[in-house]
């Protein structure tokens, strides 16, 4: 079951976060989507053995797939272990999927996972529709954050 992520909504315990996503992309819209996982994969997710570095979403035959996400092999998996970097299908409502596919087809927009979290025992991914930042945009963000830090520091000294 997927639903649109809302500000202030508690997503549950975050297992992994894509730290570079907000630095490298302008986030336009987000969705909370489910993942189709095998037994050994969900056990590794609950153990926190997930990396979202370099992961992205792809629309294939009317479905969204996550590529490049690494879920480490489960230590006690034995012969039934999974392939760590296989493509994983996401679960979304049909109306959300139609809107998302229309948006992704625009030039310069991509799907990136922001984080993986657990909600009621189910693994969920916060998927974002994003547009890549240029180098000068990144510099402006860094300057703005530094100015905010300096202002907060100056206010703290006055007290």
Q: Is the pLDDT of residue 98 over 50?
A: yes
140 conformational bin, left if phi > 0, alpha if psi -120 to 50, beta if neither: alpha
pLDDT of residue 82: 81
Where does the pLDDT of residue 40 fall: very low under 50, low under 70, confident under 90, or very high at 90 and above?
A: confident
* Max CA pair span of the chain: 63
Q: Which CATH architecture has domain 14-133?
A: Beta Barrel (2.40)
Give the residue extent of every domain in the chain. 14-133
Q: Where are the alpha helices (DSSP H) in the chain?
A: 21-24, 39-46, 94-104, 135-158
Which of 2-6, 42-46, 47-51, 87-91 is predicted with the least confidence, judged by mean pLDDT? 2-6
């Amino acid at each position: 079951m997927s639903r649109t992520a809302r500000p202030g909504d508690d997503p549950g315990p975050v297992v992994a976060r894509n730290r570079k996503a907000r630095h490298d992309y302008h986030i336009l819209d987000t969705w909370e989507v489910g993942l189709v996982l095998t037994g050994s994969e969900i056990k590794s997710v609950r153990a926190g053995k997930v990396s979202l570095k370099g992961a992205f979403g792809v629309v294939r035959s009317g479905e969204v797939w996550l590529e490049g996400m690494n879920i480490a092999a489960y230590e006690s998996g034995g012969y039934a272990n999974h392939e760590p970097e296989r493509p994983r299908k996401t679960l979304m409502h049909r109306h959300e999927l139609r809107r998302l596919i229309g948006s992704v087809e625009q030039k310069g927009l991509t799907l990136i996972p922001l984080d993986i979290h657990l909600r009621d025992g189910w693994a969920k991914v916060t998927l974002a529709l994003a547009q890549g930042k240029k180098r000068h945009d990144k510099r402006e963000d860094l300057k703005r954050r530094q100015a905010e830090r300096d202002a907060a520091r100056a206010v703290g000294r006055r007290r």
